[in-house]
Structure 1
Amino acid sequence: MKSQVSASARSEAGRNDWFLSAVYVAVQSHVSRLQVAMDVAVRTEPVDGHSLFGELFERAALEGENRDELVRAFAEFAEGVQELAKAAESGENLEFSLSLPDGETSEAFNHLLLAAARQAIRPSRAAEACKGALLLMAASLETLVADLASALIRDRPAVVDLGSKQMTLGQMEELGSIEAVRAYAAAKAVDGLMRGGIDQWADWFHLFAVEWKEIPENWWAFREIDARRNLVAHAGSIVNEFYLKIARDNDAESVPEAGQELSVDESYLRKAHAELAAFGVLVGASVSMRHRPDALGSIYSWGAREARALLDDEVYDGARMIAARLLSVARGRLARRTEIDIRVTDWLARKALGGVEAIRSEVERYDFAGLDLTMRHFRSLLLDDDDVAIEQIQTLIARNDLRRTRVRLSNEYSELRSRRGTDWLDVE
């Protein structure tokens, strides 16, 4: 088995030139970074106030009457604050005071009260983690742009201005070779590009026949992510004129009011994750198709694998956007197996998002006739025809066309596993 895997890897590498390899690695690194950023947000634990104050209370090391007095003081303080709030609502003036028996108890009370005040004004850890994750995602897009730009300049150095062609002899000697000179000029060009933003990057990629605005399903949904990132980084998430101008210039469907706070919660972050992941794969595919048109079949297959990987990671909307775009661009020119693979990814993603009724009529109308069972069994799987699906899967396993391990692990079989378990996999 190991020799077969190694042979397959060598064969794949032999089909891909350095340019495609560079693009694929850049995109896969981007998608991986996005997942890490998402993990940072969703796995951040909220602050446990009880644990915090419990720890401080224990460290104060008060005993006996002093400990009882401290507890009493906080209870009395809480009641007093409530009475003050009620008085304020009714327009009354009210004062209250606390008396503590000794300096040690008073010191502990003041320390804990200040800790409570600091805790009260701190923003939510979960909310700040989401904002931090958005900044990481935006940084990942920048890295992807730089990596793709480097590959494009290396592949087509005449397309862009690499700066002055005049260098001193000393500079040449320091760099050591013509290749090093080219690499230095390319690095300077990429550095200059990265000082701009999305609009400048889109114009630059246009020089290489890659049209950014044609890639996302909804251009503003993609463009807004960076605009909101700018608000988080520079304006405390408050809508300003800079954001409003970007919204107007990019035909936003709806525009918030100046001064409104735009939150970055987990729901927004998941949408941003899907948008940026899909854009990364699709811009990589677009760059590859434009500059390696003789490798279209392998590029579509790569895109299909990346979409299925997002499906396994439960980034359903990202997988759906990639599949839909690949099918649209291909216009019926795909190999049948690749086309089915992409369609199944699209159906699985849409089913995960909207249930089986969201895809039922489309799957039922699709012509699966003439397809091998390896592809045909997806029809019963997608339509929740469990008995037929199990029978077909068992046949494929008996034919050595499907591994039990894939059925146990792959996302495409997850709903069947949840309904019927996996004991039937071991039936001969």
Structure 2
Amino acid sequence: MTFNRRKFIAVGTAAAATLSAPAVLADGHGKPRVVVIGGGSGGATAARYIAKDSKGAITVTLVEPSRSYFTCYFSNLYIGGFTDLEDISHTYGTLAAKYGINVVHDWAVDVDRDSKTVSLAGGAVLPYDKLILSPGIDFVEDAVPGWSVAAQNKMPHAYKAGSQSELLKAQIMAMPEGGRFAMVAPPNPYRCPPGPYERISMVAHVLKQMNPTAKILVADPKPKFSKQALFEEGWQRHYGGMVERIGPDFGGENVSVDTEAMTIDIDGMVENVDVCNVIPAQKAGRIADMAGVTEGNWAPVNAADMSSKADPDVHVLGDAAAQGDMPKSGFAANSQAKVCAMAVRGALTDSKVFPAKFTNTCWSLIAEDDGVKVGATYEATEEKIAKVDGFISQTGEDAATRKATFEESVGWYAGITTDMFD
């Protein structure tokens, strides 16, 4: 079952805008300036809401190197054959044309918090009154011995969607009959807690159709994982005997790989594999570290407005933020962005700011029409974003409930991408 683009969302046809650096720097109206780095679920949402709700009172510049943004959420469905790559690709033309956002396709290479400026790879320097960082993730060097970003084409991570997703899918499709797919799962915390296990489900879905004697091996450093009972029930129901997971009790936290030999070593046991999906330990996108707002791998923030604990004029959203109880997800980043946008607009225009509230839901597809979800609501405390209550799908649910859950996720995808880009 493949969902074409029209079934997902009617995406605007405006072309992506790229402004030259000198034009971005000019502002003769004395308006307050907001620079947003990162055009994903956090950054694009924050830029859109600040520009829209301030009605032109704030100059908003969005810095994003990619002209097309591929959502990590639903990229597993592309691997599973339930959607096309173009369905998860989005551009920035509407943000520029409709909301007057200066969209700059360049790399941010430095932040000077003293002078309140952002330097771009192309040479431009952007001044700001408020800076919003939403850079997503980077990978921890040497997290998996034998693997590096330089070797990602041999053992793809596919945890930044787009070309890596295409590559991993092509490798899966080229597996020999009865071959072996391996995943090295990441340690906590990481982007999208159910994501690796939805990916296993989608790989199993493909292999069941085209290569039913193939096997899947998961080396996992965690004793447990998000929606574990739901995934394990689903794997047994749909893909019985295909998936084997090795947790830390059996060596799953002592793993190395050989990208040339295509082997994975699990606590001294060397396994030959045909495809190896390595998802390393993660950290905040590099610009957060360059801005000096990280502690360890992540950037601590104040829950009420997502401002950095190192600098009240810098805000950090989404995967990069150390904020408390919320998972690192696209839904969470979008929710945090709305709180941040309201707080930034209030600070710069003296408009009303309401108390921060946050929500999150993560959907996963296990097999065709077999969707599950987990979610919660949160509130801002002085210490962190704190969970208030939550919900999760139950094992043993009927087919109609699971189908409705999947259809709900398709509607959510259309809604969140509209909220970000339209």
TM norm structure 2? 0.24
Which structure dedicates a bigger proportion of its chain to helix?
Answer: 1
User: Normalising by the residue count of structure 1, what TM-score does the alignment of the two structures yield?
Assistant: 0.24
- Work out which structure has the larger RCO, using CA pairs closer than 8 Å and 6 or more positions apart in sequence: 2
As a proportion of its length, which structure holds more strand? 2
Structure possessing the higher radius of gyration over alpha carbons: 1
